[in-house]
Amino acid sequence: MIGYVVNELGSAELQDTPKPIPAPNEVLIKMEACALNFADLLLIKGTYQEKPALPFCPGMEIAGRVVDMGADVSGFSIGDRVAGVAGHGGLAEYAVLEAAATVALPDAVGFAEAAAFQVAYGTSHLALSHRANIKAGETLLVFGAAGGVGLAAVELGKLMGARVIASARGEDKLAIAKAAGADHVIDSDAPDIREQIKALGGADVVYDPVGGAAFDTAMRVTNPDGRILAIGFASGTVPQIPANILLVKNISVIGLYWGGYRKFAPKVLSDSLKTLLDWQVEGRLTPHISHQLALSEAASALSLLKTRKSTGKVVVVA
């Protein structure tokens, strides 16, 4: 089969690679769509918290049809339309998924849409509901609000009844966040960003996939008894948390590594994904896919993320 392979020399390219064989608890799918994430760039560099053995294909979010399955798998049939998240392997013609973290796709949900919203919407759904326990009427501040997870947080926060302040860079990205439901938008490069947020009443919950200066701002604008969700560090700077501010303001910093649930609580992921698929079928979610490219263009697709030329999600399709 053809896959986009990261090899022992640290390079990545399209090449022939063995078709994976499903383990007893896995399903083998013919890939129809694979959505990309910033984490894929880190995987390729070898700086992600998970380090697959070389060689490997990146690509976490996968949708396709079941073509084989392990001996212990039940509840799926050959030809089923499914979606799921693996640690890697999606940028190839065939990929394996753990059956416990795989869900059947309703006919109304396309493969590209299904791939595109698993990590982004799944991360934001678990962060806001499971970890921060956001309540209707609270104010949610979202940094990186035009990116994959940030845009999903804007949309889900609004769906859950929050008042949403979105921060992103530039008018075009702010317009996308506004269209997703943000009540207020603020340019992340504004020199008075803290003052603008405070003028809006501060934030009860902050969703931060950026880190660095964004996290510093979050510490200053979070209201007493508020929560800061540490989702990632796209800025490249992992913040150091001043515990004295946590103490004085009675605020909490809550970490979320969505992929970790694949190992210790996969049913939490599959239950969340089922809820999100129901909302998708009901027309309550609108995944934003800025680019769709073929597997032969995998390098260009990843470059869109690296150069920050995409909004929402980039999807590679078969």
Report pLDDT digits (tens) over 143-166. Answer: 999 988 999 999 999 999 999 999
Task: For each of the domains in the chain, give its residue range(s) and CATH number, in order of start.
Answer: 2-118+260-317 (3.90.180.10), 136-256 (3.40.50.720)
Q: What is the pTM of this model?
A: 0.81
pLDDT mean across residues, the chain: 94
Largest separation between any pair of C-alpha atoms in the chain: 59
Q: Cα–Cα distances in Å, from 286 out to 90, 181, 257, 283, 313?
A: 23, 11, 24, 7, 12
pLDDT digits (tens, 9 = 90+) for 166-185: 999 999 999 999 999 999 99
Per-residue pLDDT reduced to its tens digit, 31-89: 999 999 988 999 999 888 888 999 999 999 999 999 999 999 999 999 999 999 888 99
CB 162 within 8 A of CB 124: no
Q: In the β-sheet with 184-187, what is the strand arrangement from edge to edge?
A: 184-187, 163-168, 139-143, 203-208, 222-230, 252-255
Determine the pLDDT at residue 215. Answer: 97
